[in-house]
Amino acid sequence: MKITKAERQQLLKGKIEEIPFVTDEQLAKEFGVSIQTIRLDRMELGIPEMRERIKSVAKDQWNETLRTLQIDEVIGEIIDLELDQRAISILDITGDLVFSRNKIARGHHLFAQANSLAVAVINDELALTAKSEITFTRQVKEGERVIAKAIVAGKNDKGLTVVEVESFVDKEIVFTGTFQMYQSNEEIGDN
């Protein structure tokens, strides 16, 4: 059953309010129209592109919450944050983040996203990575979106805060990391 343009635009507006970081590509697939149609609908409705929506939400919501970093120092876009508990960020893999020869993301970008998220989730003026153990489980390609999820797991036997990070493309894990974080009220022990 085909819906009218006005009905589609209302549904589109509702979907974006429900999931602010949904892409034009995902919306086009859901509504069975071209990406260009979605872009035109968004423009008519005065809805910015996904990247601008995320930046706007991040600046409004996270700038005052973050204690260890400024919002522009985080690699990726934070979409959820509860200090000393959990955090989520999104990183779209663009051409400047990949090897030109094979369009595979350079690993240091995935590490930087996870590490900066581990720092950002700490509720302290100073948080530094004392040690990390990381695993890349599959290559990430240009055009893919990486969602990193950090969870504060507690303190280790050296008194460092342990942050576990898993990064996904769709529902597939592409990176895992365990970060031992030094905070200003802790001393770095022998590792």
The pLDDT, as a whole number, for residue 54 is 63
Q: Which domain holds residue 40?
A: 5-47
Is the pLDDT at 190 greater than 50? The verdict is no
Q: How many CB atoms lie within 10 A of CB 90?
A: 19
> How does the average pLDDT of the chain come out, rounded?
86
Is the pLDDT at 60 greater than 90? The verdict is no
- Please report whether residue 55 resides in a domain: no
Q: What distance in Å separates the CA atoms of residue 96 and residue 104, rounded to the nearest whole number?
A: 11
Average pLDDT over residues 133-148: 97
* CATH number for the domain harbouring residue 85: 3.10.129.10
pLDDT > 90 fraction of the chain, expressed in percent and rounded: 60
- Please report whether residue 136 resides in a domain: yes
Could you give the 3-state DSSP secondary structure of residue 30?
A: helix
Task: Please choose, from the candidates 109, 80, 83, 39, the residue with its C-alpha nearest in 3D space to the C-alpha of residue 181.
Answer: 83
Describe the strand order of the beta sheet including 145-155 as a list of residue ranges.
77-82, 86-92, 145-155, 161-169, 172-183, 127-136
| 105 shares a domain with 23 | no
| 78 shares a domain with 9 | no
- Please report whether residue 54 resides in a domain: no
Total domains, the chain: 2
pLDDT > 70 fraction of the chain, expressed in percent and rounded: 85
Mind listing the pLDDT tens digit for each residue in 95-130? 999 999 999 999 999 999 999 999 989 888 888 899
- Please report whether residue 22 resides in a domain: yes
| 160 shares a domain with 82 | yes
CA angle 44/45/50 to nearest 5° reads 105
| 121 shares a domain with 86 | yes
* CATH number for the domain harbouring residue 33: 1.10.10.10
The pLDDT, as a whole number, for residue 126 is 83
Q: Which residue has the tokens 């009218």?
A: 4
The pLDDT, as a whole number, for residue 17 is 83
- Please report whether residue 191 resides in a domain: no
Q: Which range, 13-22, 26-35, 58-67, has the best average confidence (pLDDT)?
A: 26-35
Average pLDDT over residues 7-12: 93
pLDDT band at 18 (very low <50, low <70, confident <90, very high): confident
| 104 shares a domain with 36 | no
Is the pLDDT at 133 greater than 60? The verdict is yes
| 126 shares a domain with 35 | no
| 100 shares a domain with 34 | no
The pLDDT, as a whole number, for residue 29 is 92
